[in-house]
Every structure is written in C-alpha cells, then in structure tokens.
Chain A
Amino acid sequence: MIRQINRVTAVIIFLLLALIINISYIQVFNARELRGQPGNQRVILTEYSRERGPILLGSQSIAESTPTLDALKYLRSYPDESIFAPITGFYSVLYGATGIEDESNDVLAGNDSRFFVDRLQQLFANREPKGGAVRLTIDPAAQTAAMKALNGRTGAVVAIDPTTGAILALASSPSFDPNLLSSHDAAEIQMNYEELDADPEQPMLNRPLAMTLPPGSTFKLVTAAAALESGRYTAATQLPGPKEINLPGTDVQLGNWNDKSCGPDDITTLQQALEISCNTAFAWLGMEIGANAIGDQAKKFGFESQFDVPMSAAISRFPIDPNQPQTAMSAIGQFDVRASALQMALVAAGIANDGVVMKPYLVSQLLGTDLTVLQSTNPVAFGRAMKSENAKILRDMMVGVVENGTASRARISGIAVGGKTGTAENVPGDPAHAWFVGIAPAEGAKIAIAVVLQNGGGATEVSGNALAAPIATAVMRAILKQ
C-alpha cells in the first residue's frame, strides 16, 4: 500500500507542476497576446487610471484629463468642443483614439521610454503616475478664425508658417465635438459615434489631410513654377491667350471662365495669365513644357509624397503619362490632378520660403509630467522646389493676382498679400470646388494658406474669390493681428 501511496502522491505533485507550467506559459509567454485581445478591458482601464497629459497650445490646453469618481479614474475633455477636433482627434473607451490623441499616445499616456526616470521618481515618491504633455504649433486665434469663417460649410483650411513648416491652423468643417466620444457611458458613446459615422457630411473626416480634390486654377502656380524653372519663361513672356483653344486630337474646345480672350490680339503674358487665371494660356503652356516638367515640379512641392504631420495625409497626385489634351487639362489643375489642402498650402509655403518647402508638422514640443521640455521639434526641409529668384518672381505674380486679378477679396490693407484662386470642376453637374491659396505678407511671409470649400460649400454661385478668399483673409488677419 505504501508504494501505491507514494505513486499517487507523485501523480498529484506532478499535476501541481503541470499547473505551474501552464500558469507560467499564460503569465509570461502568452501574456502579450492576451493583452492585445480586443475584448480585454484591462489595457484601457490601466490607461484611464493614470492622469493623461494635456494637449497644449502655448499654455492653453485643448484636451485635458479631470479626475472622476467612477472606475475609469480620469475623464478626457475638450474645452473648446469642435474647434480643435481635427487636430486632437478623440480619445474613446470604445473606439480608441484618433488625431494627436492617437499619434502622441505614448507620451500622453506616459508609456514613452523617455518617462522611465519620471516613473522611478513617481514610484519612490508614491505619487500617482501621470502622462506627459504635447505642445502643438497651432495658433489658437488662427484655428478659431478658420473654423468660424468656414461656419459649418464643407471645407478645409491649412495655414503653415512657411519658414518652418509649423502648421498654424488645420481646420475641417463640419467638425464634431470629441467630448461626445470621450465620456464613460458606453451606450452614449456608441450612440454618438454611430450618429457621427452615419452623418452624410462626415464630420469625423479630417478634410485638410484626408480629402484630395482637383485643385483647379490654384495648380497654375505649379505650372507657372515649372515654366519659370525651365529657364525659357519669365513673368513677361508672351503666351497665346485666345477665348478658347482646341485640345489636340479631339474636338473639345477649352475656354476661359469668362468666355473672353486673355489679352489684345489673343496675346497675354505669363504674369497677366496668372492674374486673370487664363485657362487657354496655361493649357497651351502645359503642352509646351510638357507633363513631365509639370509632374516633376509638382513632386518637388510634395505631390506623390506622404506627409505625417504626425497624422498621415493623403498623397496628392499628378497623372502619369497623360496625352496632350490631358496634359492641357492637368496644367490647369483639372483631369486627374488631386491635391489636399495641406499640399496646396505647401505649394504656397515653398514659394513664400524662397523656393524651399519645409516639412509640415504639428507637434512642437514633448513635455514631461512636470511640463519640462523633453524634446523640441527642429524644422526640417522637405526640399528645394524652385530657385530663389524664380520664387521671388512667382510671389510678385501672386501679389498681382490679389491686387489686379481674380483674388480681390484676399486684400488686406497695408499688407502685400499674394494669392491664387481656383474654381475646380469635378463631376459634371456637381457644383465646383472653391479654392484659395495665398501667402502674407508676400515678402518675409508669416503664413502660407490653402482654403477649399468642397462643392463650393453649398453655395449656388461658386468662385474661389467670393467663397474661399474671405476665409483665408480672416485667418491671415488673425495671425498677423490685423
């Protein structure tokens, strides 16, 4: 009987050993996979048990965490509701995070490796762990002005400091209130999310980054830059500018927006063609310098490149190997040319910054839990888009557009504003998109801006000057304190 007892004991001890091996597997080797399971609330609960760091503009916080009494110890709130939503994104128990809340999560949640020392101090001082803060480049006055000027119409505004690439305003309209998704009431969040998601106006879409549209006449800046860079053209070079031209190989007649010829004897100059946005002259110019030259110029401004600001922007496109009529249409920003508002702001910024395009960015500083600066962003050049002297010529031409041409509504007294309007046809029958791209002041520019109203933002008469330019003016005034 003793031998059997010993055997039974050995079996039971072996069973306990099997338990230990199995638990070791779960708690050590399988733990990472289990933590990543979609139904695992513990990750979220742990995140919410820490004070998440604020998102700052200067010293103003546009996203902050306040203590609560429920199981999720901190509530994320957005004091300015919808104004900064395109930047902050949302932070939700059910739907995760978007925008800066997502991109800078490691810092805000305090998971970043740079917080290791902070963590140790908190551990020893027995203080509650906290997240770090993120300071953004956004100018609150510019952002507020942009959102106010958009006034709920479907559209986007991007304003950039051309010398650094710092994004001053990133407006998307219509916007949403991220507080609707950051509450701790799952049913309420789900209802709000489904409502926002089903809204045909797509309030959660980040239009300045995600929406690419035909840029229309604002793309003439790129065509003009390509012409200047070819060395064969100056502002005064004469171009044919008839009332309409035939697109080669087709029976399509391309006309001007006002059905008029662009100058006496159907002759115009590059300068004048830009000022009055002469389609026939630019279509001819496009076919003259060729799709490759325009495509290369577009690439130098950032087309075909991915920008992470840190949110990823949609890539802007110039068509590959277009035929002659397609090239003509592409040169005036139609056919398959697609640009985001961010991209068109970069075009303006490159021209304003003596031809050098700076990489756009939103995060200026990462801060520790005590708001000491951990890391500052150094501006980085994306590349040179054009020669300095050609940039100067193009700037003067843009000032001409505002002073004498189609962008009269962009004028600000006492300041030389440069700009270019666009009224881009999309699907036949749909209202056109209203664009404005501008810089102010033209020399030593503090701001490069792009405004777009999708399908004219619902207006019956669509024109870049009437609809988009005033929005840009409002934002420029806010930045220049005019």
Chain B
Amino acid sequence: MSTNLIRYRVSNRRSAELALLIGAWLIGVFAWILVDASTAASSLGGWTSLVSAGVLLLITHGVVRWQAPYADPLLLPSVAALNMLGLAMIHRLDAAAAQRAASNGSPPPTPDVYLQLTWMLVGLIAFIVVLTFVNDHRRLQRFTFTAGFAGIVFLFLPLLPVIGNEVNGAQLWISILGLTFQPGELAKVALTLFFAGFLVGRRHSLALVQKKIFGIGIPRGKDVGPLLLVWLVALLVLILERDLGTSLLLFGLFTVMLYVATGRRSWVVISALLLAFGGTLAYRQFGHVQIRFDVWLRPFDDANGNGYQITQSLYGLANGGIFGTGWGQGYPQLVPFAKTDFITSALGEELGLMGLIAILLLFAIIIERGARAAVATRDPFGNLFAIGLTTVIGLQTFIVIGGVTRLVPLTGLTTPFLSYGGSSLVANYIIIGILIRISNAARAPEISDAQLVLRQNVDTK
C-alpha cells in the first residue's frame, strides 16, 4: 500500500512531458505555416528548420528520460513552447525585412531565424551537458567562489578594449572572431550560484540582529558588507556599461536570495532604500537614466524621438487588441528591436491579449515549477539555488515585458526564450537544465515516508 502510494506520488510523468513537448513543437509549426501563408514568404528551409528543432527537442527529452527520470515534466515543454513561438516570430520579422528589401530593390537580408535556430541547438547542448555532467546539484556548491569570480569577470568583460563592443549606447557585448556574445547573461547564472553558495553558509550569522531602529532589525555591520558590495557592483555595471536592466536584475536577485536565506524582512527594506537611493543618484547623474524615466512618464511628448520605441510598442499592442491581427497580418516590424527587447509587443500585436496571456501563463508555469523544485529539494543550497534561478527568469521577464508595456521604465533586457539572441537563450537553457536537475532530486524516491514526515515537521516548525 505505502509502496504503491510512493510509486504513485513519484510517477515520473515522462510520457506526459513527451506529449506536451510535441504539442509545444506543433504550436511552433502551425505558427510558422501561418506566417508563410500570410506573408507569402518562401518557406525554403522552413521545414528543415522545423524538423531539426523537433529532433533537437526529442533528443533533449531522451536525455532527460535517461539522466533525470523524475524531473518535473512541465518545465521543458513550457520552455520549448516559448522557444518555438520566438522562432516563429523571428521568422515572421525576417519575412517583413525581406519584403521591405524587395520593395526597396535592395538584396534580401540574411534571415536571423537560422542563427537563432543554431543558438537553440547550442542552448540545448548546454542543457544536455548540464544534465549529464552535473548529476547532483549539490556538487555545484564547491564552485561557489569560482562562480563568483567568473560572474564578475563576465560582467566586466565587455569593458575590455579589443573584444568589448558597444551597441546602441550600451556596452554589453563581446566580439570574438566575428561572433558576438553577451557575457552578462552567463554572469547572472554564475552569480546566482555564488549567492546561493555564499549565503547558505552564512545565513544564520546574517540573521543575527544587533539592534532595532523603528522596529526594523538592523543586521551586524560586517554582514551588511556583501550586500553593499553587490550594490556597488550593480551600480558599476550600470555606470560603466549603461546596462540598467542587468543591474536591476542583479540587485533584485540578491535581495531575494538574502531574504530567503535569512528570513529577515529588514534586508528587503534596506534593499528598497538602497534601490531608491541608487535610483535617485542615477537619475540625477546620468542623462540616459533621466531620459528613460521621463519617457516612461510622458512617452507621447517625444513620440518621434526618445519616446519612439515605447510609443511604437504601444501602438502595436493597441493594433492587436484582444485577439490580435493574426500571424503575418500586423506591422510588428515598425517597432524598433522587435526581434529582441520588443518581441513581446510583436507577439501582442499578432496574437493579441489572448496570446500574451497564454505566453505569460507559460512563464507562470515555469516560475511555479521552479519554485516547487526549490521547495521540494532537500538541501538548503538546493532550495536557495533553485529559487534564485527561478527569480532570475521571473524578474527578467517582469523587467523586460513591464518595460515594453510601460508598466515600469524601459531598461532593456531580452525576454527569456522568446527574444532573438544566443547568449540569453544559452544562459536560460542552462538555468532550466539546473532546475530540472534539482527537480529530479526533489522528486526522486530516495527517502522514506517517515523521513518525509520528519522533514515536513522541521519545515513547518
């Protein structure tokens, strides 16, 4: 009886994952067909791309089945659905670019979708590597300081003279042998590992309160040190690379992890104060921060200048309405950076509110499943690491989608799994790989019911 119960509970649901994965792939296939039908784009190479994406996903599923049989069955299909939708939208924007070139009589531009497909391949390989070589996530804790060092190096790499590359006023890229890469995307994974490893050993000392001011417990001075350090690093990134999005993300991530590790709300209050202070300072000192903020408040005052991106994004969303124009029927190409930062407004125009809600629900599923792995895993490092990675995806989604829909000031980040851009895709597949590894550990039937009960008692105490 009890064995059956456990079996039932830990039933690995791999077939469900396969079925959902095929469904996710089909969403992409149908989207692609609709794009071709409505833009009259030549689908030369389209089927090869779709089939190779399908095969890649199947192989990945096979690796999950083999390496992490108890992993959460919803994570990979949700991510795959987003990735397929992103590919279809990039293909659709390629078609728009080709049409534009044809009407100008200029040679057709190189489609971006094949490069993105290649990055999807690289991302899935990274995912498979993580899953294959990290068979216990706890081993990663050993690399805490290595990861911390690597994260800082990644962050500051674009500032190096030869390989650093400035695009659109932000210095976020490195360029090696003609290939550009955004190391900041990998930095966020490395830094999450560092934070998790660093905090898990010090969480009790960090939780110590020396004195209280206005009912808020103030931690000891030497414990505030790391927070101030990260705050300074985030500010430095902001200043030197003009990357508002990444600094906001890192700061938010560290706050969340401190809070989770120590359980002290005072960290959140202190962080909020530091954020307000840093934000005010940045607004006062940097023209580009001020512009971003003013455009957020009054986008239509300068609709043809600084407000152009955000107003075009809003026009696209308005054109989409509830049900969207349909694939290929809108004008997402009018929004600058439609393939990268503004892919949400492109999807919102053609798929409408219904489409965007579906996409946000996919993100919600990823967040919920990541959090579930974080809760269910049995070691504090795993708890912290998993919620950190989940927070990265959640916060990044909020910052970028909130930015292009004018909920928060526009800061510029890629939308996880949707946006064109290899670094982001690879980094996010690595995150999902780790989350799947942790969820596998959480769901694997390693311990008895008695231990489970004990553990629950400990947690709810």
Contacts and interface: CB of A to CB of B under 8 A. Distances in A.
A93 to B, nearest CB: 14
Contacts, number: 139
A6 B387 CA distance: 9
A13 B363 CA distance: 9
A9 B367 contact: yes
B353 A28 contact: yes
Interface stretch (B22-30, B136-144, B255-263): B255-263
Given A1-B263, A19-B398, A27 B99 contact: no
Interface stretch (A39-47, A201-209, A264-272, A460-468): A39-47
A4 B317 CA distance: 35
B33 to A, nearest CB: 14
Interface stretch (B60-68, B125-133, B399-407): B399-407
A16 B397 contact: yes
A354 to B, nearest CB: 55
A1 B352 contact: no
A24 interface: yes
Interface in B444-459: 459
SS class of chain B's interface: helix, strand, loop or mixed?
Answer: helix
A2 B390 CA distance: 14
Contacts of B406: 22, 26
Nearest to A22: B407
Contacts of B401: 19
B155 interface: no
A69 B397 CA distance: 38
Nearest to B460: A2
A1 B261 contact: yes
B345 to A, nearest CB: 10
A30 interface: yes
B316 A18 contact: no
B272 interface: no
Contacts of B261: 1
A404 B32 CA distance: 81
Contacts of B263: 1, 3-4
Contact of B314 (A8, A26, A32): A26
Contact of B259 (A8, A32, A42): A8
B438 interface: no
Contacts of B395: 12, 15
A380 interface: no
Contact of B391 (A8, A19, A68): A8
A70 B106 CA distance: 12
A39 to B, nearest CB: 5
A381 B391 CA distance: 74
A9 B386 CA distance: 11
Most-contacted residue by chain A among B318, B334, B384 (CB, 10 A): B318
Contacts of B405: 19, 22-23, 26
Given A12-B394, A12-B398, A6 B371 contact: yes
A16 B398 contact: yes
A26 B368 contact: no
A5 B331 contact: no
B368 A24 contact: no
Interface string B295-324: 000001001100000010011111111100
A303 B393 CA distance: 72
Contact of B334 (A22, A30, A35, A42): A42
A31 B323 CA distance: 12
A2 B372 CA distance: 10
A39 B304 CA distance: 8
Interface in B143-163: none
A20 interface: yes
B375 interface: yes
B348 interface: yes
B384 A69 contact: no
B357 interface: yes
A70 B356 CA distance: 30
Nearest to B99: A71
Contact of A70 (B103, B256, B319, B402): B103
A60 interface: no
A37 B375 contact: no
Nearest to A24: B353
13 contacts: A1-B384, A5-B260, A8-B387, A8-B391, A13-B367, A20-B360, A26-B317, A27-B322, A31-B317, A35-B318, A39-B304, A45-B334, A71-B103
Interface of B: 99-100, 102-103, 256, 259-261, 263, 300, 303-304, 311, 314-322, 330-331, 334, 348, 352-353, 356-357, 360, 363-364, 367-368, 371, 374-375, 380, 383-384, 387, 390-391, 394-395, 397-398, 401-402, 405-407, 459
Given A2-B459, A8-B387, A34-B318, 9 more contacts: A4-B263, A16-B394, A19-B360, A23-B360, A31-B318, A31-B321, A35-B319, A37-B315, A40-B318
The 8 closest A-B pairs by CB, nearest first: A34-B318, A12-B394, A9-B371, A70-B103, A31-B318, A27-B353, A4-B260, A15-B398
